[in-house]
Chain A
Amino acid sequence: MTAPIISLKNIDVTFTPKGKTIHAVQDVSIDVEKGDIYGIVGYSGAGKSTLVRTVNLLQEPTTGSVTINGETIFKKEARTAAQKITGHELKEKRRKIGMIFQHFNLLNERTVEDNVLFALENSKEKEAVKKEKVAKLLELVDLSDRAKQYPSQLSGGQKQRVAIARALANDPEILISDEATSALDPKTTRQILALLKKLNDEYNLTVLLITHEMDAVKEIADKVAVMQNGRVLEKGSTLDIFTNPQAELTKEFIATATNQDQAIATITASDTIKNLPEGQVFAQLTYSGNSTNEPLITSLYQHFGIVANILYGNVEVLQGTEVGSLLVILSGEQDNFEDALDFLAARSVSVNILKGEQA
C-alpha cells in the first residue's frame, strides 16, 4: 500500500476567544488513501470543518502534523516552534487541493467563467489555454450555457457546480467538500453527490466529504469517520460502520439515514405492537452481503415452525453490498425460538428484540 494522500496526525485545534479555551479538535488522526471518498460525519460544532481546514492550512493546528502526498506541510509539538512550508509553497499546495463550501462562496461580481478563471490567475498558461480550460470545466459540470451569467442568476445547485469547476481548475488531487450539499434540496444534493462520485471514478480524485447527513455518506463514501466534541468516535469502511456501528451517535446517525428510527417509532406506537399477544416477539433483523440471498423467512418456518409477519423492510446498497433490515413479529413454539436465533446468528443476521420476551 502506498502512503496515504492525506495524513493528519494527532491534530489538536484550540481557540481562546476572550481567555476562554475551546478545544475544537482533540487528538484526531486520519489517513486518507488516494482515490478514497472519505466521509466525516457529525453534528454542527463537532469540529469537522475545523479539522478539514487543517488539510490546506486555512486553519493551523495548535499541535499535530499534516502530511499531503508524503510531504509534511505542517508540524508542531507542544512547546516547540511550528515547522511549516513557506507561504509561497503553501499557495502552490493549496492549488492542488480543491475546496467547495456550504454557501458556495462564489465571487458575486464576476461571471461564471470569470469565477473559474480566478482560480487560474496564477497559472503560467497563455490566456487562450486558460479560456479553453474554463470552457472544458464548465462543460464537465454542465454549465456551458451559463458562462456569461452572474452567480445571482443561478440556482443553488448550479452555483455549487460553478464552485466545483473552480475547485477543479488547477487539476487538484484532493477535493474537500465542506457541507457542500447542506444548503441544497434532496434532488440537487443527489446530483452534486453523483458528480463528486463521477469525478472520483473518472479522475481518481480523492474526496473529503464533510457532512451532517449520513445519507450523503451512504450514497458515495467508501470510508467514514464519526466526530463528536472534536474527537473521532469511530472510523472505518462505510459498510462496517453501517452494519456494525459501535458508538451511540453512529447508531443514531444511521437510524436517521435509513429512516429506521421513524419506522420503528411508528410501528411501536401502533395498536398491533401495543397489544402484542403473549408469546410473540417484535424484532428487528439486520443482515448484509450473502445472507440477503437466503430465503430467511421461509427457512424460519420450515425448520422451526416460526412465522414471521413482516411489518417493514428496507434494503440499502453500500459499496455494492446489500444491507437489509426487517421489522417483524415472530410467533411460534416457545422451545424453537432459541434454536431459531442461533440459526440466524450463524448466518450473520443480527436480531434486536424490540418488544416481547422469549427464551
Chain B
Amino acid sequence: MSTWFSQTFPNVVYQGWGGDTGWGTAIFQTLFMTFWSAVFGGLLGLIFGIGLVVTGPRGITPNKTIFWILDKIVSVFRAVPFIILLAFIAPFTKALVGTQIGINAALVPLSLGVFPFYARQIQVALSEVDSGIVEAAQAVGASFSQIVFGVYIKEGRSEIIRVSTVTLISLIGLTAMAGAIGAGGLGNMAVAYGYNRFANDTTLVATILVLIMVLIVQVTGDWLAKKYNHK
C-alpha cells in the first residue's frame, strides 16, 4: 500500500508532513486562517447585519443615515475582488499587525473580505424573522437587546446557522488565495508546489483535502440548522 502510494503520488510524499512545506503545516494554516477570520469577520458581519436590519426601513429603530452608511460600506467591500483587496489594504494590514506578509497578515484581508458577504447573509436571514413576532415582543415591552438577541437571533438561529455554513465554505475558498501573500495553506500547496511544479498529484491531494473540509462544514451545518428549527 505505502509503496503503491509513494509510486502513484511521489510529489505528495516528497512534501512530507511537517516543516514549512509539509502537509500538516498546510492543513494547520488553512484551519488557522479559516477559524480566526471566521471569528473576526463573523463578528464584524454579525454587527453590520444586525445594524442593517434594526436601522432599516422596517426595523425596530429605523435610521436612514446609519442604514445608508452601513449599506454603502458593505456594498463597496463586497464589490472589490478578494485578490485585489489583499494587495490594496496591505498598508492597513501592516499598520494593524506589523507585517503585510505571512499568516497573521492574511487574517486582516480575509476578515475584511468575508464580513460584507456575511453581513448581507445575516441581513437576509434576520429579515425573514416574522415582523409580527417582533411586534408581539414590542407589545410586551421587550427592550432593544431582548428583541435583538431574544427574538431576531433566537428566531433566526436556524437560518443564521445555514448562512454561516455557506459563508464558512466560501471562506475556506478565500484562504486558498492567501498564499499570494505568503500565508501558506492548502491553496498555496495546490498552486505553488502542485501546479507550478507540474506535480499534479500534489494538486489533486490538496484539492481532496479542501473538499473534505468543505464537506465536514456542510454536513455539520445542515445538522445544526435542522436541530435548531422548530418552525
Interface residues of A (CB under 8 A from B): 56, 58, 90-95, 97-99, 101, 103, 105-110, 118-119, 121-122, 150-152, 163, 166-167, 169-170, 176
**How many A-B residue pairs lie within 8 Å, measured between CB atoms?**
76
11 A-B contact pairs sorted by A residue (CB < 8 Å) = A58-B139, A91-B141, A97-B139, A99-B139, A105-B136, A107-B133, A108-B133, A108-B231, A109-B230, A118-B150, A163-B136
Report how far A91 CA is from B142 CA in the complex, Å: 7
Partner of B138, one of A94, A103, A170: A94
CB-CB contacts of B4-41 with A at 8 A, as 1s and 0s? 00000000000000000000000000000000000000
Q: Is the CB of A152 within 8 A of B231?
A: yes
- Is B216 engaged at the interface, CB distance under 8 Å to the other chain? no
Q: Is the CB of B139 within 8 A of A122?
A: no
Q: Is the CB of A91 within 8 A of B143?
A: yes
Task: Indicate the size class of the contact surface on chain B.
Answer: 20 to 34
Q: Is the CB of B140 within 8 A of A95?
A: yes
Using known A-B contacts A58-B135, A152-B230, determine if residue A107 contacts B141 with beta carbons closer than 8 Å.
Answer: no
Report how far A297 CA is from B158 CA in the complex, Å: 68
Query: What 4 A-B pairs are tightest by C-beta distance, nearest first?
Result: A105-B136, A91-B141, A94-B141, A95-B141
Report how far A151 CA is from B229 CA in the complex, Å: 12
B140 closest partner in A (C-beta): A119
Partner of A101, one of B132, B150, B155, B231: B132
Q: Is the CB of B230 within 8 A of A108?
A: yes
Q: What B residues does A91 contact at CB under 8 A?
A: 141-143
CB distance from B71 to the nearest CB of A (A): 19
Q: What A residues does B138 contact at CB under 8 A?
A: 58, 94
Report how far A108 CA is from B156 CA in the complex, Å: 10
- Is B223 engaged at the interface, CB distance under 8 Å to the other chain? no
Q: Is the CB of B151 within 8 A of A107?
A: yes
Q: What B residues does A110 contact at CB under 8 A?
A: 154
CB distance from A208 to the nearest CB of B (A): 13
Report how far A126 CA is from B125 CA in the complex, Å: 34
CB-CB contacts of B123-166 with A at 8 A, as 1s and 0s? 00000001011011111111100100011001101100000000
Q: Is the CB of A105 within 8 A of B141?
A: no
CB distance from A74 to the nearest CB of B (A): 15
CB distance from A102 to the nearest CB of B (A): 8
- Is B228 engaged at the interface, CB distance under 8 Å to the other chain? yes
Partner of B154, one of A109, A119, A121, A167: A109
Q: Is the CB of B157 within 8 A of A101?
A: no
A100 closest partner in B (C-beta): B136
